[in-house]
Copies of this chain bind each other. A is one copy, B any other.
Amino acid sequence: MKKIALVAALAATAAAPAFAQSVTLWGRINTTVESQKFGSQDRKVVVQNNSSRLGLKGSEDLGGGLKASFSLEHGLNSDTGAATGGTTFWNRASWVQLEGGFGGIRLGKWFPGSYFATADYVSNHNHDTGTSADALYATQFYTNNKVSYFTPTAGGFSAELSAAAGENATTRAFDVAVNYDMGPAHAGLGYEKKGDFTQIAIRGLYEFGPVVIGGYVQRAENTFAGVGKKDWNVWRASGMYVMGQSEFHLNFGKADKMVADDGAKQLTVGYNYNLSKRTKVYGFWTKVDNQSKGNYQTGVAGQDFSSLAAGIRHNF
Query: Which A residues are closer than 8 A to B by beta carbons?
Result: 1, 3-4, 7-8, 10-19, 21-27, 29-33, 41-42, 44-47, 52, 54-58, 60, 62-63, 66, 68-73, 76-83, 85-98, 105, 107-111, 113, 116-117, 120-121, 124, 143-147, 150, 153, 158, 164-165, 167-168, 179, 181, 184, 186, 188, 205, 207, 212, 242, 275-276, 278-279, 281, 311-316
Contacts and interface: CB of A to CB of B under 8 A. Distances in A.
Complex A-B, nearest 5 residue pairs according to Cβ-Cβ distance, in ascending order: A81-B90, A47-B145, A29-B96, A81-B94, A68-B279
A98 B29 contact: no
Given A4-B186, A8-B186, A77-B94, 16 more contacts: A8-B121, A11-B117, A17-B26, A17-B315, A23-B316, A44-B168, A47-B146, A47-B147, A47-B165, A62-B279, A63-B276, A68-B275, A80-B94, A80-B145, A81-B143, A82-B88
Contacts of A188: 11
B181 A8 contact: yes
B21 A16 contact: no
B8 A179 contact: yes
A127 to B, nearest CB: 9
A91 B46 CA distance: 19
A273 to B, nearest CB: 11
Contact of A121 (B7, B69, B179): B7
A117 to B, nearest CB: 6
8 contacts: A4-B186, A12-B153, A29-B94, A33-B147, A47-B165, A68-B275, A76-B94, A105-B312
A167 to B, nearest CB: 5
A278 B19 contact: yes
A146 B188 CA distance: 40
Contact of A81 (B3, B89, B181, B311): B89
Contact of A165 (B46, B68, B143): B46
B96 A108 contact: no
A194 to B, nearest CB: 15
Nearest to A274: B3
A25 B94 contact: no
Contacts of A111: 14
A314 B60 contact: yes
Contacts of A54: 56, 72
A50 to B, nearest CB: 11
Nearest to A81: B90
A88 B83 contact: yes
Nearest to A70: B29
B279 A158 contact: no
A72 B72 CA distance: 17
Contacts of A124: 7
A91 B87 contact: no
Most interface-central of A21, A46, A96, A313 (chain B CB within 10 A): A96
